[in-house]
Amino acid sequence: MMTVHRNSFELFAMSNGVDDTPQRLEPASFSALGALELQHIERWIRERPILLGEDLKIVTHQFAGFEQAKDRLDVLALDHDGRLVVIEVKRDASGAYQDLQALRYAALVSTFRAEQLAEAHADYIKKTESREIDAEDARRELEAFIEGGDLDIVDEDVQPRIMLVAASFQPAVMSTVLWLCRAYRVDISCVQLVPYEVGGELLIGSSILVPLPEVGDYEVKVAQKLHAATSKKATAAPLHQDQAKAFIASVPSGRWTAYVDVATAGGSPNGAMGVGSWLSNKGEDVVHVYRVLNRRGEVSEGWKATDSNLPPDPAGVRALLEREGVHFNDEGRADQNQRWTPEDWGTVISVTDTDDAGAPAG
């Protein structure tokens, strides 16, 4: 049986209003219009990320700072949740290997840390806006875009999102994308950009082909079900709350610790985000909970005490810690030399065990 090809996006003209008969407009091609991937399409995306269907913060473009490869990543962005978004652009057809290329970039980007992103964004600003900016200022710009305002969240995300952008996609690429979405829950999407010339004006139609926005929740549920049926999900080790509580209680006056340290001490090194949620909901039962900060030594902006014996707000937490001897710099970050780590706790436990073992019986 012969398969009839239909474009995913069609545009029709109604020159004489609603009583007219729709006339199909033939799409143009970016190559025939003289539009280039780097100089034009990538620039449009960087200047108006909403072209891809959502608000994104551009981190950098044409990035070539990978140690393992000499390739250049088209566009790297952040979404409001603080997740990295790898954007791979093709001018007209996707080609046979756009999906594989994007997966390679995602693998390389998955190792990026907050400091690397800040440096890359500072370089990007200098090149594209001719504006001098250091890594700290670049970091603040990125954090202002993220809900929660902490760029360190990227350190805990090893699976960046992927966006494939093209005027059309080969069936093999679409099949691969759907398989990755449904079987392995890879957050990958296909965005189709189609140019039209109408009355001497250039129009661009933008369509999200995968996943369909209208059934996004359904697709997620199907993917979760299929994934659960075919493989065991790799999850972080559960947090041993009693052990985590003991670690927090061991933090001496004049010292502080971080969520990631609590997670590590509790047997869940990748569970820092879960620790934050746990302490924000039930922290009043944890001794010295106010001594837990983010890894940069900052008091969480979301701190809200439910116990009258605890400081009521972030300013109160900092004031209490300063009275206890913790030093903060002008940016509100505690001295890293005063950070209490699982290794410090282990040393204390070892000394205690040794003393107990050497004590005379009786």
pLDDT digit string (tens) for 237-292?
788 999 999 999 999 999 999 999 999 999 988 888 788 878 877 777 888 999 99
Residues 129 and 210 in one domain: yes
Backbone angles phi, psi at 302, to 5 degrees: -90, 10
pLDDT > 90 in the chain, percent: 60
SS3 137: helix
Residues 150 and 122 in one domain: yes
Spatial separation of the C-alpha atoms in residues 141 and 118, rounded to whole Å:
9
Residues 224 and 248 in one domain: no
Q: Is residue 17 part of a domain?
A: no
Write the pLDDT tens digit of every residue in 116-142. 999 999 999 999 998 999 999 999 999
Spatial separation of the C-alpha atoms in residues 56 and 77, rounded to whole Å:
6
Residues 30 and 174 in one domain: yes
Residues 223 and 101 in one domain: yes
| DSSP result, 51-95 | GGTS--EEEEEEE---SS----EEEEEE-TTS-EEEEEE-SSB--
Residues 135 and 264 in one domain: no
Cα 286 to its chain centre, rounded Å, is 30
SS3 16: coil
Name the residue range of residue 29's domain.
22-230
Residues 145 and 274 in one domain: no
Write the pLDDT tens digit of every residue in 314-325. 999 999 999 999
Task: Give 84: exposed, middle or buried? Use CB within 10 Å, 0-12, 13-18, 19+.
Answer: buried
Spatial separation of the C-alpha atoms in residues 263 and 273, rounded to whole Å:
9
So what's the pLDDT on residue 30? Answer: 95
Write the pLDDT tens digit of every residue in 352-362. 555 554 444 43
Whether residue 195 contacts residue 187, with contact meaning beta carbons closer than 8 Å, is answered with no
Of 230, 249, 282, the last residue of a domain is 230
* Amino acid making up residue 29: S
Residues 251 and 199 in one domain: no
Q: How many domains, in total, are found in the chain?
A: 2
Residue 66 has pLDDT above 50, yes or no: yes
Residues 43 and 134 in one domain: yes
Q: Is residue 204 part of a domain?
A: yes
Q: Is residue 77 part of a domain?
A: yes
Residue 306 has pLDDT above 90, yes or no: no
Q: Nearest Cα to 159, choosing from 181, 175, 138, 179?
A: 181
Residues 61 and 190 in one domain: yes
Mean pLDDT of 163-191: 92
Residues 178 and 249 in one domain: no
So what's the pLDDT on residue 216? Answer: 54
Spatial separation of the C-alpha atoms in residues 172 and 159, rounded to whole Å:
23
Write the pLDDT tens digit of every residue in 340-349. 999 999 887 7
Residue 223 has pLDDT above 60, yes or no: no
Write the pLDDT tens digit of every residue in 8-45. 788 999 989 999 999 999 999 999 999 999 999 999 99
Q: Is residue 248 part of a domain?
A: yes
Residue 79 has pLDDT above 80, yes or no: yes
Residue 235 has pLDDT above 60, yes or no: no
Mean pLDDT of 76-104: 93
Residues 214 and 252 in one domain: no
